[in-house]
Amino acid sequence: MTKIAGWSKELGNHERDMTATEQAEFDARQIEWNSDAEKLKRIKEIRLKKLKETDWWVYRGSMTAEQSSWRQSLRDIPTTFSASDYDALLEMGGEIPNRNLTHSVWSKP
């Protein structure tokens, strides 16, 4: 059972197991979270952030071929990669505060 934290007049701060109803809803949310559609959504959000971070390359007007190729590879993620690659694309490594995405597609040139 998953733990839930609470406060009540009788117990103050305490933790308890989720009820069967709470656990069922929690599990359903986990299933949705782990669905391919949700993973792809998160990948696209990260991609958008990476593209926004490097928009200034475009505005500057002197983007290198390597930089241009990398930005195109980000746009091609949905066609280049399949659902079986999503976990690898979202995988993170390193320790806080230097924890980051490990897949090479995210590495800026």
Partner 1 sequence: MSSEIKADKWSPASGTSATIGDSGDTYTVPTGANFTVTDELKTNKISPASGTAFTMGDSGDTFTVPSGVTFANSGTATGFGDTSYYVKIANNNGTNSVGGAFINDCFSTTYRTYLVTFQFENDRNGNQIWLRFLKDDDTELSGAYYRYATHQINNGGTESSITANDSSYWRMTGGTAGGNTALFGGCFGFMYVHNPYTIASGQAGAGNIYRTGWNAHYSEYDDSGNISNMTSTGMVEQNAVNVAGIQFMPSANYIAKRNITVWGLKEY
Q: Where are the alpha helices (DSSP H) in 1-109?
A: 20-33, 36-53, 55-60, 65-75, 77-80, 86-90
Which residue lies nearer to partner 1 by CB, 48 or 83?
Answer: 48
Number of residues that bind partner 1 (CB under 8 A): 33
Task: Give the phi and the psi of residue 98 in degrees, each rounded to 5.
Answer: -105, 20
Establish if 30 lies at the interface with partner 1 (CB under 8 A). yes
**What is the smallest separation between the CB atom of 80 and partner 1, expressed in angstroms?**
19
**What is the smallest separation between the CB atom of 54 and partner 1, expressed in angstroms?**
13
The stretch near partner 1 (CB under 8 A) out of 58-66, 71-79, 80-88, 97-105 is 97-105
Which residue lies nearer to partner 1 by CB, 48 or 64?
Answer: 48
Establish if 63 lies at the interface with partner 1 (CB under 8 A). no
Please name the residues in contact with 5: beta carbons below 8 A apart, sequence gap of 6 or more. 13, 14, 15
Which residue lies nearer to partner 1 by CB, 25 or 64?
Answer: 25
**Cα–Cα distance for residue pair 48/53, rounded to 1 Å:** 9
Q: What is the DSSP letter of 14?
A: E
